[in-house]
Amino acid sequence: MERDLENANPTILNVSQLPSRQRKGPVTRHGPDSKCDSIVFPQHPWPFGSSSSSDEGDDDGEDHVDAQDIYDLISTISDPEHPHTLGQLSVVRLPDIHLDPSPAVLPDPDALVTVLVELTPTINHCSLATVIGLAVRCRLEQTLPPNYRVDVRMKDGSHAQDDQVNKQLGDKERVAAALENDTLQRMVDKMLETCA
């Protein structure tokens, strides 16, 4: 599709600069001398018996849904006009994702949780803001459990017509109607292709 880009030069973050869950323990060094590290400095120092295989569930501890999880779900959505993800373009930012109440403190796992995602378009007159919001909404509805209510909005002041956009995104009927539109549906599908 040949058309002029609305924002031809957005600021792009490196993938390594994006917020991510820090791995436990120190980072392993990969120098030229690290070839036999797995043998002489093994992860599991006791190689015998049944105990060696039972450690595999290192990450199996309780870990409730948090803002980083939501960020990981939506930051990989592609931008409709740039070959970058919403995370790289800072349309989605970790501090702008709010869970209320936090699932970690909920006594009942089925209690209602509201997820509020505030988007920051790269320019304040971005006409694609609604499409981006729609994609974020779709992605979250497809991947979160039914007790999560999704609320996608433009961050205050980030968009010239944020009221209208928010109204559109908040209206279930309008969202459903938008997804009936084949062109829009294809566009959203295309944007979600890059999500793992």
Q: Write out the residues near other proteins by the rule CB under 8 A.
A: 26-27, 29, 31-37, 39-41, 45-51, 54, 57, 59-65, 69, 103, 109, 142-148
Residue with smaller CB distance to other proteins, 28 or 164: 28
Residue with smaller CB distance to other proteins, 62 or 156: 62
Hunting for tokens 């060094």 — which residue is that? 29
Q: How many angstroms separate the Cα of 103 from the Cα of each of 34, 62, 147? A: 41, 12, 11
Residue 67 CB, nearest distance to other proteins (Å)?
13
d(CA 196, CA 194): 6
Residue with smaller CB distance to other proteins, 145 or 164: 145
Q: Which tokens belong to 122?
A: 């790269």
Residue 158 CB, nearest distance to other proteins (Å)?
29
Contact 150, 141 (CB under 8 A): yes
In three-state secondary structure terms, 107 is coil
Residue 193 CB, nearest distance to other proteins (Å)?
12
Residue 157 CB, nearest distance to other proteins (Å)?
33
Residue with smaller CB distance to other proteins, 26 or 157: 26
Provide the angle, in degrees to the nearest 10, between the axes of the packed helices 172-180 and 129-143: 100
Residue with smaller CB distance to other proteins, 46 or 156: 46
Question: CA dihedral in degrees (23, 10, 193, 99; nearest 10)?
Answer: 50
Residue 171 CB, nearest distance to other proteins (Å)?
23
